[in-house]
């Protein structure tokens, strides 16, 4: 009797271990699982599933399996709902980008016009164009406020760490400005290694107010001479299934207002890209269309410049900087939502698979029990 | 003859319609625009913007940007703008006095720049809540 009790307890313990194991599986992390304190490289997906099913068979009672089916079913409902919510929000993020279009296009027109005028002037000089020897860099990195979105936050944090290490290796100091709760928490815990100037939250809908607050900090840091270069690290929204963490130099700007990545490849401001979420044969799909928003006609010869072109450029560049920050926020949010949609999609799939296997097991167990009972009855009657 | 005005911020178009007169706070001072103005480009200061529409003055707090006038249409491209009617007078006044105090306390250059910007914004909001004198 006592040995039976012991076996039961052991079974329960294993059950709990498995609970952890499946939770991880649902969370969408695939690579490795810790089993009994040992890190085991995961076998091929098919093999793993069989193994999981096999393990359950030896030590779970029918009631346990039934309970687990129930809990998996609930989890699936939650992940399904989260997926749909994320999909709806991607749409909203896209609308925000569209609403920002008139501004972006007018701005590029102006920038183009002012530049054509300025080309004839000798020196262009604005605080935001100052190229100074770099001693300290301000890195602005954009993460999300929440988890459960696959590797989204992790990619950005790793990229930020990598960039800081690169800069330090070349003898340049780095400060961090974090946008998004997750990044703020992560680097906040590592205060001894990283200098975090300030952290912001991304919020559910990035507006000018947020981007302005971020841009104000960047502006005062740069113009105040504390940093000589500002870089943005954010996730560029490529499609619903892929997004790249990229590093972009924000300041100092080139006079044309072009935004360059760290290798010096310039992304032409006039070739603005717009992403569109559409449905294709019942599936969500993303189209990225690139439009040249500047018609390049420049200004009228008669146009009066109320101030010196120089001064106008001074007013224009901060505006352009804000636009870039807002754009980074929007792209990052869209990527986060897309990542969440994907993570939740695979979580739902995993849950569905798990439920199927468990149901099979349950039915098999139930059948075995009935068979056993029949055998007992038959054996009893034949005596 | 009216002037077509569009006030564009990065996330929306705040005003798009005809007005009879516009008062801009440019970096070189206050400027009044009437219909049939010559083509012009000007940088805008953080400050109030007033539009006269059917003999009624509308106020906006504009956080810097610039304006162009061409063929009777005035386009304002601004960082951020708030309509005067959406602002609460008391909060705005409180913020102004807070910003003033912060400006006096600021010591390091970045703090000073930040405080100056905050003060100018608070002042623009305050002025936008006042009726046109």
Cα–Cα dist A84/A91, whole Å = 11
Q: Are residues A152 and A11 in the same domain?
A: no
CB-based contact A220 B40, cutoff 8 Å = no
Å between B130 CA and nearest CA of chain A: 23
Backbone angles phi, psi at A60, to 5 degrees: -110, 135
Question: Between these two residues, A295 and A193, which has the higher pLDDT value?
Answer: A193
Structural domain contains residue A119: yes
Query: Could you tell me if A101 lies within 8 Å of chain B, comparing CB atoms?
Result: no
Whole-number pLDDT of residue B83: 87
Q: Give the count of domains, chain A.
A: 2
Q: Is A97 in contact with A275 (CB distance < 8 Å)?
A: yes
CB-based contact B41 A110, cutoff 8 Å = yes
Q: Are residues A109 and A8 in the same domain?
A: no
Structural domain contains residue A375: no
Q: Tell me: pLDDT of A48 over 90.
A: no
Whole-number pLDDT of residue A22: 41
- Mention every residue, 6+ apart, whose C-beta is less than 8 A from residue B125: B61, B82, B87, B92, B95, B96
Strand A259-261, strand A266-267: pairing: antiparallel
Using a pLDDT cut of 70, give the percent of chain A over it.
Answer: 69
CB-based contact A326 B110, cutoff 8 Å = no
Nearest residue to A308 via CA among B23, B26, B37? B26
Å between B28 CA and nearest CA of chain A: 7
Question: How many CB pairs below 8 Å do chains A and B form together?
Answer: 112
Structural domain contains residue A59: no
Whole-number pLDDT of residue A248: 81
> Which CATH number fits the domain B3-84, given the four candidates 2.60.15.10, 3.40.50.300, 3.40.50.360, 2.40.40.20?
2.60.15.10
Q: Note the pTM of the prediction, 2 decimals.
A: 0.69
Cα–Cα dist A51/A45, whole Å = 10
Mean pLDDT of all residues in A170-184: 91
Q: Are residues A305 and A229 in the same domain?
A: yes
Whole-number pLDDT of residue A141: 93
CATH classification at residue A331: 3.40.1380.10
ipTM for the assembly: 0.76
CB-based contact B10 A311, cutoff 8 Å = no
Whole-number pLDDT of residue A351: 95
Choosing from A58, A149, A260, A266, the catalytic residue is A149
Average pLDDT value for chain A: 75
Instruction: Clarify whether A260 is annotated catalytic.
Output: no
Structural domain contains residue A120: yes
Q: Are residues A108 and A26 in the same domain?
A: no
Place of tokens 């943005």: A232
Strand A271-280, strand A283-292: pairing: antiparallel
Q: Are residues A117 and A41 in the same domain?
A: no
Structural domain contains residue A376: no
Q: Tell me: pLDDT of A5 over 60.
A: no
Q: Tell me: pLDDT of A382 over 80.
A: no
Whole-number pLDDT of residue A134: 85
Measure CB to CB from residue B43 to each of A207, A216, A307 and give the nearest one: A307
Q: Is A252 in contact with A134 (CB distance < 8 Å)?
A: no
Which residue in chain A has the smallest CA separation from B117?
A: A216
Query: Could you tell me if A207 lies within 8 Å of chain B, comparing CB atoms?
Result: yes
Structural domain contains residue A263: yes
Whole-number pLDDT of residue A350: 95
Give the start-to-end residue ranges of the domains of chain B: 3-84, 86-129
Q: At what angle do helices A62-99 and A101-118 cross, to 10 degrees?
A: 40
- Sequence length of chain B is 133
Band of pLDDT at residue A19, cut at 50, 70 and 90: very low
Band of pLDDT at residue A288, cut at 50, 70 and 90: low
Q: Are residues A134 and A267 in the same domain?
A: yes
A219-231 pLDDT per residue, tens: 889 888 888 889 8
Which residue in chain A has the smallest CA separation from B75?
A: A106
Tokens read off for A32:
């490795």
Question: Between these two residues, A87 and A32, which has the higher pLDDT value?
Answer: A87
Whole-number pLDDT of residue A304: 81
Whole-number pLDDT of residue A298: 55
Structural domain contains residue A195: yes
Place of tokens 């501004």: A103
Backbone angles phi, psi at A201, to 5 degrees: -100, 150
Whole-number pLDDT of residue A43: 46
- Mention every residue, 6+ apart, whose C-beta is less than 8 A from residue A209: B80
CB-based contact A306 B42, cutoff 8 Å = yes
Q: Is A241 in contact with A342 (CB distance < 8 Å)?
A: yes
Using a pLDDT cut of 90, give the percent of chain B over it.
Answer: 18
Provide the domain limits for residue A262. 85-342
A324-377 pLDDT per residue, tens: 888 888 888 888 998 999 899 999 999 999 999 999 999 999 999 999 999 999
Residues A196, A179, B64: CA angle, nearest 5 degrees: 105
Å between B33 CA and nearest CA of chain A: 13
Whole-number pLDDT of residue A32: 39
CA terminus-to-terminus distance, chain B: 25
Q: Are residues A126 and A215 in the same domain?
A: yes
Q: Which residues in chain B are closer than 8 Å to A316, comparing Cβ atoms?
A: 43, 66
Mean pLDDT of all residues in A157-174: 91
Least confident stretch, A75-84, A115-124, A266-275, A319-328? A266-275
Tokens read off for B131:
């009726």
Structural domain contains residue A324: yes
Q: Are residues A2 and A115 in the same domain?
A: no
Band of pLDDT at residue A289, cut at 50, 70 and 90: low
Which residue in chain A has the smallest CA separation from B46?
A: A315
Nearest residue to A320 via CA among A267, A276, A275? A267
CB-based contact B64 A306, cutoff 8 Å = no
Q: Which residues in chain B are closer than 8 Å to A219, comparing Cβ atoms?
A: 113, 117
Query: Could you tell me if A6 lies within 8 Å of chain B, comparing CB atoms?
Result: no
Whole-number pLDDT of residue A76: 95
Whole-number pLDDT of residue A106: 80
Question: How many other CB atoms sit within 10 Å of the CB of residue A289?
Answer: 9
Whole-number pLDDT of residue A2: 41
Whole-number pLDDT of residue A287: 57
Give the SS3 label for residue A307: coil
Ranges under pLDDT 70 in chain B? 133
Cα–Cα dist A275/A334, whole Å = 10
Å between A215 CA and nearest CA of chain B: 11
- Mention every residue, 6+ apart, whose C-beta is less than 8 A from residue A6: none
Q: Is B36 in contact with B49 (CB distance < 8 Å)?
A: no
């Amino acid at each position: 009797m006592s040995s039976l009790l012991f076996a039961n307890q052991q079974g329960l313990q294993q059950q709990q271990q498995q609970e952890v194991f499946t939770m991880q599986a649902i969370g969408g992390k695939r690579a490795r699982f810790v089993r009994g304190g040992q890190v085991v490289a995961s076998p091929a997906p098919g093999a793993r599933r069989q193994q999981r099913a096999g393990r359950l068979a030896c030590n779970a009672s029918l009631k346990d399996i039934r309970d687990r089916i129930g809990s998996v079913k609930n989890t699936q409902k939650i992940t399904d709902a989260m997926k749909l919510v994320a999909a709806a929000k991607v749409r909203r993020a896209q609308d925000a980008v569209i609403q920002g279009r008139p501004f972006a296009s007018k701005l590029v027109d102006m920038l183009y016009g002012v530049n054509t005028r300025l080309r004839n002037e000798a020196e262009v000089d604005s605080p935001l164009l100052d190229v100074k020897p770099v001693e300290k860099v301000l890195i602005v990195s954009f993460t999300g406020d929440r988890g459960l979105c696959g590797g989204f936050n992790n990619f950005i944090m790793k990229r930020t760490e990598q960039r800081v290490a690169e800069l330090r290796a070349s003898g340049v100091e780095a400060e961090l400005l974090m946008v998004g709760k997750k990044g703020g928490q992560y680097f906040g815990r590592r205060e001894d290694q990283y200098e975090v100037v300030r952290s912001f939250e991304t919020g559910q809908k990035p507006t000018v107010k947020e981007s302005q607050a971020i841009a104000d900090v960047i502006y005062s840091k740069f113009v105040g001479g504390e940093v000589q270069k500002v870089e943005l690290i954010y996730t560029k929204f490529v499609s619903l299934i892929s997004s790249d963490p990229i590093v972009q130099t924000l300041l100092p700007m080139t006079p044309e207002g072009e935004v360059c990545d760290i290798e010096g490849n310039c992304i032409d401001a006039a070739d603005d890209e717009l992403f569109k979420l559409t449905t294709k044969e019942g599936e969500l799909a993303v189209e990225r269309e690139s439009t040249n928003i500047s018609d390049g006609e420049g200004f009228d010869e008669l146009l009066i410049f109320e101030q010196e072109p120089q001064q106008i450029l001074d007013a224009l560049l901060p505006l352009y900087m804000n636009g870039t920050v807002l754009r980074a926020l929007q792209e990052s949010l869209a990527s986060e939502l897309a990542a969440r949609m994907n993570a939740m999609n695979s979580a739902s799939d995993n849950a569905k698979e798990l439920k199927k296997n468990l149901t099979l097991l349950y039915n098999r167990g139930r059948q075995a029990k009935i068979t056993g009972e029949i055998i007992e009855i038959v054996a009893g009657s034949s005596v | 003859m009216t002037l077509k005005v569009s006030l564009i911020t990065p996330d929306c178009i705040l005003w798009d319609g005809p007005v009879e007169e516009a008062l801009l706070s440019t970096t070189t001072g206050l400027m009044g625009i009437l219909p049939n103005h010559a083509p012009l480009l000007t940088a805008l200061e953080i400050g109030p913007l007033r539009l006269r529409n059917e003999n009624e003055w509308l106020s906006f707090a504009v956080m810097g940007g610039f304006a162009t006038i061409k063929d009777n249409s005035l386009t304002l491209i601004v960082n951020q703008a708030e309509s005067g009617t959406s602002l609460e007078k008391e909060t705005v006044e409180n913020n102004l006095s807070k910003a003033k105090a912060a400006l006096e306390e600021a010591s390091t250059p970045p703090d000073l720049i930040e405080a100056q910007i905050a003060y100018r914004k608070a002042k623009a909001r305050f002025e936008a809540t006042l009726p046109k004198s």
